[in-house]
Structures are given as C-alpha cells and as structure tokens.
Structure 1
Amino acid sequence: MDDNKTVKQITSNKGSWKRFGYVLSHARLPWIWIVVVLIVSLAATKLELLLPQYTSNLLNGDTSAHMIKLALFSAGALFVVTFASNLVQGIGEVSITRNLRSVVWKRILGTKPSGFGDTQPGEIISRVTTDTEVIGLFIIKILYVMIPSIYFAVSVIITLYGINHTMLYWMLACIPFSVAATVVWGRYNFSVQVKVYERISNLTHYLSDRITKMPLIKSYGTEEEEVAKGEEPIEGMYKARVEAQKVMCAGNIAFNVIMGYIPNVILMLLGASLIGKGQLSFGDWVMFFMYTSRMTASISVVIFEWADIKGTQGAIMRVSGIMMNPSEFDETYPEKGAPEGDIELRDLQFSYGTKEIFENLTMTIKEGKKTVLVGGSGSGKTTLLKLLERFYDVGDGQILFNGKDINTYDIAATRKAISYISQDAPMLGDTVREAVTYGVGRTVTDEEIVQALEAASAWDFVQKMPAGIDSSIGDYGCRLSGGQRQKIALTRGLLRNSRYVLLDESTSSMDACSALNVQKAIDNYIQGRTCIMISNNVSIVMEADEVIVLKDGGVEAVGDHESLLRDSATYREFCSQGRECQL
C-alpha cells in the first residue's frame, strides 16, 4: 500500500514547510496560550529596547529624578516580564506538545494495521513521545525567540541608523557571512539529526522488544548475550550524539566569531575613532554598544534557530506522515447500521506485497451457522478473518454482508458486530474484570461476567483467585497460563454479544479434550449467531455445520466431515495430523 510510506523513515526534507503548515492546522493547538506567549515575549523585547536609551541619557548628563525613575522602572519591569515570559513559555510548550500528542495518538489509533507497513512499535512510540516534543519546542522557539528577535533587530537597526549609519553598515556586513555558514552547517545538521533519530528508534525498539520477552531471556539464560547485543544500539546512539555535539560546537564557534567577536572589535576601534573626532558622544557609543551586542545576539539567534530547523524537519516529516495518513475516523459510509446476514466472498484477491494469498476466492458463510476454515500454513485462514475485521483493504473482488459490500458499512459498527478472539489472546487491564470487559462498550454486571466465565470454562480458576474477578492478572495477563489467557479472551468475546464470532485457534493452548468441552460450552452460549473458526482440533472441526477447505488461494472443497474425508485430500491430511480428543 502506498500509505505505508507515510510512516517510514524520512531521509529527505522536501516539502517540510508544507507539512509543517499541515501539522499546525490539524494539531488543535492552544491558540490562547500561543497568543499570550507572543504578547509577553514582545513586551519583554520592547522593554529591552528602552534600557539602552535611558542608559545613554544618564551617561550624557540627564540625571534628573524622572530619568532615574524611568531607568529603574524599566529594569524592574523587564525582570518581572522576563520571569512571566519564561513561565508562559514553559506552559505554552507543554500545552502544545500535549495537544499534538493527543492528535497523533488518535491518528495512530485510526490507522489500519496495514498502514504501518514494516514500521516497528519503538519507532511509532518515538513519534508520539520524542518527535511531538521537538515540534512543540520548535513552535515555542518561533514565538518566544525568533519573532521577538527579528522585531528587536529591526527596531535596533532603525534606531542605530539615526545615530551613526557608518558603524551600522560595518555591523551589518557580518550578516551575509553568518548566513552562508548557517546554510552549510544546517544541511549537515539535518543529516546528523536524522541519524540521531534512527539510533534512538533502534534503541527504543530493542529495549521494548527485550523487556516484553524477559521471561524467555531468563529461561534460556541469555542475559549476558543480550547485554552484549544491547551494546550495539547503545554505542550507536552514543556515537550519533557525539557527532551531533561536534556539529553543534562548530556552529557555535562560527556564530560567536562572525556575529560576536568581529562586530565587537569593529565597534571598539571605530567607536573610539569617532569619539576622538567628536562625531559620537560617549553615551551614544555606550547605547550603540548595548544595542549592537543585543542586535548581533538576536541575529545570531534567528540564524542559529533557522539552522536548527534542519534538525526539526525530520520530526515534522515523521509526525506529518502519521497525521496525513488516511484515518478510519475520517471516513463516511452509506450504511449506518451494523452488517447482518450471510457473508459472501466474490472473486476476492489479496496479497501481502508480492506474496499472493487469495486469487478469485469465492465462498459463502451462512448466517447463524458454525463454519470452520481448514487449510495448510499460508492458505489465508487468519488473513480472511482480518479482512472481515477490515484490518486490511481487499484488492479486487468483494466481501458482502447480506448482499451489501463490506466497505459501505460504518467501520466501527462492523467491528462492534464482530467478536474476534485471536490465538495470542492479547490482554489490556490489570484485573480479570478489566480484561473481560475491555471494549465491551456497556455496563456489565457481575452475574453476566460469571456466566461468561463459566461458558468459557474460566470460572473454576477465577473463583479460586484471591479477589475473584477483581484479582490482578499482571501486565498483559502475565500471571495467567496460556490456556487461562485464552479462556479470559474467550470470555471477553462472549460478553460483547456480537452477531458474528471469529475464533482464530482460540483454544490452541488447551489440551484437545478441554478445548472440545470449552467449544461445546461456547456453542451453547452463542447459539443462533454466526461463528467462523480456525482450529487444528479435529474433534471441534467434526462438530461444525460446515467446513471450508482453503488451498492455493481459493476453495478446494466445502462440506461436512464425512463428505470432505471422501472428496478432499487436504482435509484428509489435516485429519491425520490434527489434534483429537481421545476419551
């Protein structure tokens, strides 16, 4: 899918300003805080412009009480306003970052799994945490640093031109050299910052992957091996950071020499000459010196921050890629109700990249019946369930509910009508209650929870837990066995009361007889609903109303157990290798 490109690594900064505009217009920014930050920053800048003038007047002999009061008041006001400016800047930055993170997180949740391509979870986490903070700081820099600095520099240039334009011209002559240095430095800084981000993503991905697999690491005694492996991303991040610091140091030196040391030398030598000739008063020279020092600092800040934009462009490109990704929340659908009826697949084609899964797949899954999908590894059984859940868009062909295309139904209503219980039984929630009611979307009574636990054969072990349904199951259900996790997941699926139930090897962690007993209990609980199953348990498959055998991208055979034993070689092989309950 082309959409996958929007979340991959960005190595080019083309179109970044257009993307930055997109981020600003869609990020629900706290505009009140932004206006407050800008006003307070400009107020502090205005006070900074007054102090050199008052200082010059005092040095030129105006020591009246009024002038002294103005100078002291301006100094005090500048202190207060600067404090307020720093405060609103900090609050503004965290407010911008908070809102941007909320928008990006919602966008991620609205992106189909296919939209992430090969992007690793650690990279996506970095975009929500690190990149949004970089962009928030960048926006604040524009408001708090760049705009006030430009305002200050322009005001000073106008003022100094009226004092002595010759000295001003010498000062401004340094700017083109600084800009040229900035362009060269900025381009290199962009490539360095991209490298730093890549190293951060690598380290985040490595750590998140290993932490979730800590029991496996300990059980196989590979701690020392993982310590050694961890050194590579840690060292890679260290080297990238060192290179970034070298680039930053080189930039600082260049700016300090061009916009700091050289202007000061010019100011002292030329100023002393003009004072000696009587063309410049000492007070005006001090004011010129104060203004020039601050002006060159302002220009340096603008140039330096402009160069730093190169480092921000990568974050802008990555975050905008997520925000510009098509979102399920933005789509509209002709059919507002939930799907119902038979499920029909017509000439369905689907592939993962170049790997073809279905080619002209045609079948019908009857409403209110239990249908089992059978096929070899890679035949598309799980893919078919994911297509029904609309995790992926179909290629050519159609999936129809009661004769209506699946894409015409509201995607949220479609998923609400389906309970999908996968083999890995993912868990969210710290307690049994939280785990089984997650995503149910309604208030569930204790009685309903117990009934569903009983139907999934989970009540026997849950009632023995210290706090029953309020007992902790640990992060991701780590305190439960594989079979217990699957029973909890089944309970959650049953509580949704969905019209369609998709069971993807949902009893694979149980022994064959336990799985059969659980399946029979579930069948009674979901009687009258449409159930689509994937199972390697022959005893469960034999109980199905219909079995569909998938092979080579299509349907090899459809029927019941007896007819398929006669007509399908794939089914006979499945029965010879599958699990079976031996009573």
Structure 2
Amino acid sequence: MKETINENKKGNWRQFFQLIKDTEPPKLLLIIALCMSFATTGVGFVVPLFTKQLVDGFSIESLDYWQIILLVIAFIAQAIASGLSIYLLNRVGHHVVASLRDRLWRKLLHLPIAYYDNNDTGETLSRVTNDTAVVKELITEHLANCLTGIIAIIGSVTILLFLDWKMTLVMLIAVPIAMVILMLLGKRMFVISKGMQDETAKFTAILNQVLPETRLVKASNAEELEYNRGKKGITNLFNFGLKEAKIHALITPLISFVLMIVLVTIIGYGGVRVSSGELTAGDMVAFILYLIQIIIPMTQLTMFFTQLQKAMGATERISAVLEHEEEDIHQGHDLESVNESIHVNHVDFAYGEERILSDIDFTIEPGKITAIVGPSGGGKTTTFSLLERFYQPTKGTITLGNTPIDTFSLHSWRSHIGYVAQESALISGTIRDNICYGIERKVEDEELKRVAEMAYAEQFIQELPQKFDTEVGERGVKLSGGQRQRIAIARALLRNPQILMLDEATSSLDSNSEIFVQKALDNLMKGRTTIVIAHRLSTVVDADNILFVEKGHITGSGTHNTLFQSHEMYREFAKQQLRIQE
C-alpha cells in the first residue's frame, strides 16, 4: 500500500513538471527572473553584516559614507530587481497558462463525440478555466518565493555556521519538525484540493446547464429547484473552503510557533554567550537578522507547498483531458466527389452495453432521396451519426462504392455533407457569421444574398435593422424557429454539399413556417444525395426509398406505395397521419 502511494506521488510530481515542460515556457525570461530574485536575496545577506559592524564599532568617526552610499544603491537595485522579477515571472506564468489553455482548447475541439456523451460540458470547461488558473497562481505568486526562499535559507544558514556553529545547530532543530508538519498536512491539503476542484467543476456544470435554458426554467416554475441545486454546490464549495482554511490555519501558526520557540531559545542562549564574552553584541544582532531571513522564507515555503498540492490536483484533471484519444481530422485520403452509392453493410452499434442498431443493411443511391422513418428511439438519429462518422460501427462497414468511408479524412468526408437538424444550432453572432460558419474562403455579398434567397430567408433578413449584420443572440434566440431553420438551410446551400442530411427539419415548425422551409429544402435537395429522418410521412411520400426502422432493426424498405401495401406498422402510421391531414 505504501509503495502504491509513493508511486502515485511520484507520478503526480512527474505529471506536473512534464505538463509545465510541454508548454515550453520562455527559458530566458525565467532565468532572468530567477537571477533577479537571487540578486534581491543576495542584497539581504549584506544587511546583517553591515549592521554587525555598526553595532560592534559604532561612532560618527567610524562611519564610511561610501559604504552607506553603496548600501543605498544596493537597496535601490534590489527594489528594481524585485519589480522586474515579479513582472517576468508573471509573464512566464501567463505564457504557461495560455499555452495550457491553447492545448486544451485544441484538444477539446478534436475530441470525439463519445467524450462529450460521457463528460459534462461544465466540468470540461472547469478544466480550461479553473484548473489552469491554479497552475498559473503557483508560478506567478509562489515559484519565486520558493526558489529565493531556499537560497535565503541556505545562504543564511551557511553564514550563521561561520558566525557561530553551536547556535546554528540549535536553530536547525526546527527543520525536521517543520518538515513533518508540512508532510502530514500537505497530504491532507492534496485530498481537499482535489475535492474542491471537483466541486468547482460540478458547480460550473450547473451554471452551464441552467443559464442557457433560463426560459425553460421560468416557464417550468423551476427557479426554486435550480436554486436548491446551485445552493447545494455553493454549500459544498463552502465546506471544502473551510477545510482548506483549517489546513492553512494549522500550517502557518504551527510553523511560526516552532520558529518563534527557536527564536526565543536563540535569544536566550545567545544572550548568555554575549554576557560571557563568547559573542559580540553585533554578532548577536546579525544572528537574529539572519534568523528572521530564515523565518520569513519558511512561511513562504509553506504557502508554496500547499499551493503545489493544489496544482498537482489540477494537473491530474488537465492531463486526463490531454491524454484522451482525439480525432485526427486530416488522417486519410481526400474525397474528390460523391458519385457512388453509400452502402451500410450489416452494421451494429452499441453505447457501451446498450445495443442501439442490429444488422442494419441498406444502400443510399447517389442523387436520390432516402427517407428513414419509424417510432421514436428506433435508431434513426444514431444511423445519421454513423454516416456523419461521429461514431464508428461496433460491427459491419459503411462504404462509398467499394471504399470504406473511414479511409477518407474526416475533414474531407464532412466537407461533402450538409446537415440540417430539427433545432438547427446557431452561434452567438450575426446572421452573416452563421451562414458563413465553417467556410474557409471569403464569401461575397452577392453569393450570400443568393443562398439566402434560395433558402427563403432574404425577405425577413432585409426587414431586420442591420440585415445580414443583425445579431441573432445566444443560440439564435432573437429569431423564430422558422427563421433559424432557413438560416441553417442557407448555411448548407453555401457549403454546396453533395450529401444532404435532414433530421426532422420541419417537425417543430408551425404550418406557415413549414411552407417556407419546405420550399427552401426543395431548392437544397435538387441534384443531391439526400437522407431524411421524418416523423411526418407527408414530407417523404415522394422519396425514392423509405426505410422503416424500429428497435434498431430495418423492418421494411421501398417506396411509399410498396410499404403501404406490405408493412403493417407503416400502414398504420400513414393512415393516422393522412387522417389528421384530411
């Protein structure tokens, strides 16, 4: 058990330093900053010796004004060096955290969809913001104090050994006592810090879930429910904060108590030796000043040690994200065009132990419309996700002609797909930003207007005050559902995809909006391989092929007339919906 704990601690240390190393901090700036810190500390070694000379042989005649001038210059240089050191270390710290956040952000954008299925978005955001801030605080606020503190302690102890080795040995009794305190409380701090970071991540997750859905909260009278969820997170954070405060409340006073006992002992023992003539008064004053130069760094080291425990806890979570397997969107060969059939060959798919699709087998003909219908939960959207390559089949293959689609690069494959969902996602920004989203080339105004007209969006866009530069709000909240869908269709038109995927694109719209959106979809589908998920059979009765999916199986396929005659459940669906329409 002890060996396992030791291995974990070693792993945490290695993990922490490797993570910092991977950010490639500017070594020259770090060296200059540390040299400035060491210079600042070095000046501190001179002051007690100068004080010793003043005490032992003070008189107006003995004053060396050049020494005083040099001492003043040294103090000024110390102040400048200290300021530069603080600035440069902050710059290094900000570089490290920026590099970490850059790596995390790139990583998060390239992680597979499966990662987001299993990890809460709010907790992932906490890795990028809160955990990296802990690492930055360690570097900018505590690293210099640690290194200069070590130099100050080593330098002061060395000088003290020359001044009086007996008194120095008495003082060094405090070192093992302080180390035991730090080790015992440090382990506890590591556990508490990990717990606090977990709770911070959970609280961030609650904020991320609730705030974007404020309308749902208010419409459901769920303010009290969400308040209680948030209150629980706040209380947990408060409790962890109290535990952390207790550790701080123990470490600093205990270390100070030990050092003060040493200080009193040294003063008493030193006073006896001064009275016996073994030490001069100047030696005693210098000894106390050097002792103070040890006490202050010791308290700074305790702060560094506790912050280091927090940083190592943060490192574990950051490393867990960075080590997760990501998608390489450029691996594979480029797909020039989609002019062959897409074959889904005996495909199975499962989320963990839960099987979603079983032995799915069908063909999507180029330039034709293939519809997927059936009861909810049958696996229609999962089929779309496999075609989009958000997931890999657990069994079987999907091919374009005879070529497995996973041999094409993700970037190349997805660039040929246009996707319009039931609730099309819009980013916070302008209408122009949303239509051009993901387009790497510059889009001229004429082309923007053309796709907007084809999507039947031009009319309502022109009625807006800022037209294409109108802000849509978070997730497009300033636009109606039909307007958002037409913006999404314009986006798909601008991509000019060869494969079009429509996921319940009109099911949530009122009849007036549906008319416009359906006309826009008709423009979008012309000459393209189209795959449609539909609940309303009226939108797909003219499809070239209809697949009926239930409980993960395809139980029927063919045209509307063929399925109406041969498939009992499809016939029931059709009769109910036709009756509603009539």
Task: Tell me the TM-score normalised to structure 1 length.
Answer: 0.91
Equivalent in the alignment of 1:5:
none
Q: Measure, in 2, the Cα distance between the counterparts of 1:479 and 1:85.
A: 50
Distance 1:336 1:158, change over 3 A: farther
Equivalent in the alignment of 1:121:
121
Equivalent in the alignment of 1:448:
447
Give the CA deviation at 1:226.
3.9
Distance 1:268 1:464, change over 3 A: same
The residue correspondences of 1:400-419 to structure 2 (distance < 5 A) are 400-419=399-418
The residue correspondences of 1:130-529 to structure 2 (distance < 5 A) are 130-140=130-140, 143-258=143-258, 260-329=259-328, 333-337=331-335, 340=338, 341-511=340-510, 515=514, 518-529=517-528
Q: Measure, in 1, the Cα distance between the counterparts of 2:79 and 2:363.
A: 76
The residue correspondences of 1:570-581 to structure 2 (distance < 5 A) are 570-578=569-577
Give the CA deviation at 1:517.
5.8
**2:134–2:310 CA contact under 8 A, matched in 1:** no
Deviations 1:253-299 (A, max 9, x none): 112112x2122112211211221222222222222212222123323
Give the AA of the match of 1:55: T
The residue correspondences of 1:528-539 to structure 2 (distance < 5 A) are 528-539=527-538
Q: Measure, in 1, the Cα distance between the counterparts of 2:244 and 2:443.
A: 54
Partner of 2:395, secondary structure, is coil
Equivalent in the alignment of 2:15:
19
Partner of 1:15, secondary structure, is helix
**1:338–1:410 CA contact under 8 A, matched in 2:** no
Deviations 1:439-471 (A, max 9, x none): 122222223223322332323322222232222
Give the CA deviation at 1:193.
1.7
Equivalent in the alignment of 2:5:
none
Q: Measure, in 1, the Cα distance between the counterparts of 2:25 and 2:336.
A: 35
**Percent pairwise identity:** 28
Give the AA of the match of 2:514: A
**2:252–2:299 CA contact under 8 A, matched in 1:** no
Distance 1:158 1:394, change over 3 A: farther
**1:370–1:545 CA contact under 8 A, matched in 2:** yes
Partner of 2:463, secondary structure, is coil
Give the CA deviation at 1:113.
2.0
Partner of 2:292, secondary structure, is helix
Partner of residue 47 from structure 1, selected from 33, 43, 48: 43
Deviations 1:421-445 (A, max 9, x none): 2222111142211121111222222
- When structure 1 is superposed on structure 2, of 523-532 and 179-188 the one drifting more is 523-532
Distance 1:36 1:348, change over 3 A: farther
Equivalent in the alignment of 1:4:
none
**1:427–1:476 CA contact under 8 A, matched in 2:** yes
Distance 1:286 1:574, change over 3 A: farther
Distance 1:33 1:388, change over 3 A: farther
Equivalent in the alignment of 1:9:
none
Distance 1:332 1:458, change over 3 A: closer
Q: Measure, in 1, the Cα distance between the counterparts of 2:416 and 2:262.
A: 72
Equivalent in the alignment of 1:33:
29
Distance 1:397 1:38, change over 3 A: farther
Distance 1:173 1:436, change over 3 A: same
Equivalent in the alignment of 1:6:
none
Q: Measure, in 2, the Cα distance between the counterparts of 1:513 and 1:563.
A: 31
The residue correspondences of 1:53-92 to structure 2 (distance < 5 A) are 53-61=49-57, 63-92=63-92
Deviations 1:141-193 (A, max 9, x none): 56412222222222222222212111111111111111111121112112222
Give the CA deviation at 1:245.
1.4
**2:330–2:411 CA contact under 8 A, matched in 1:** no
Q: Measure, in 1, the Cα distance between the counterparts of 2:206 and 2:366.
A: 45
Q: Measure, in 1, the Cα distance between the counterparts of 2:163 and 2:555.
A: 93
Distance 1:518 1:231, change over 3 A: closer
Gaps of 5+ in 1: 1-11
Distance 1:552 1:386, change over 3 A: same
Distance 1:248 1:336, change over 3 A: same
Equivalent in the alignment of 1:3:
none
User: After TM superposition, where is structure 1 displaced by more than 6 Å over at least 4 residues in a row?
Assistant: none
Distance 1:152 1:377, change over 3 A: same
Q: Measure, in 2, the Cα distance between the counterparts of 1:289 and 1:497.
A: 80
Give the AA of the match of 1:552: K
Give the CA deviation at 1:222.
4.0
Equivalent in the alignment of 2:109:
109
- When structure 1 is superposed on structure 2, of 396-405 and 22-31 the one drifting more is 22-31
- When structure 1 is superposed on structure 2, of 295-304 and 433-442 the one drifting more is 295-304
Q: Measure, in 2, the Cα distance between the counterparts of 1:580 and 1:440.
A: 44
**1:333–1:410 CA contact under 8 A, matched in 2:** yes
Give the CA deviation at 1:134.
0.5
Q: Measure, in 2, the Cα distance between the counterparts of 1:140 and 1:216.
A: 42
Q: Measure, in 2, the Cα distance between the counterparts of 1:79 and 1:514.
A: 70
Give the AA of the match of 1:90: N
**2:501–2:530 CA contact under 8 A, matched in 1:** yes
Gaps of 5+ in 2: 1-7
Q: Measure, in 2, the Cα distance between the counterparts of 1:402 and 1:104.
A: 38
Give the AA of the match of 2:314: A
Q: Measure, in 2, the Cα distance between the counterparts of 1:475 and 1:512.
A: 25
**2:36–2:81 CA contact under 8 A, matched in 1:** yes
**1:516–1:540 CA contact under 8 A, matched in 2:** no
Q: Measure, in 2, the Cα distance between the counterparts of 1:123 and 1:338.
A: 39
Distance 1:29 1:393, change over 3 A: farther
Q: Measure, in 1, the Cα distance between the counterparts of 2:422 and 2:230.
A: 30
Partner of 1:557, secondary structure, is strand
Distance 1:223 1:248, change over 3 A: same
- When structure 1 is superposed on structure 2, of 81-90 and 501-510 the one drifting more is 81-90
Q: Measure, in 1, the Cα distance between the counterparts of 2:472 and 2:269.
A: 77
Q: Measure, in 2, the Cα distance between the counterparts of 1:477 and 1:548.
A: 33
Give the CA deviation at 1:304.
4.1
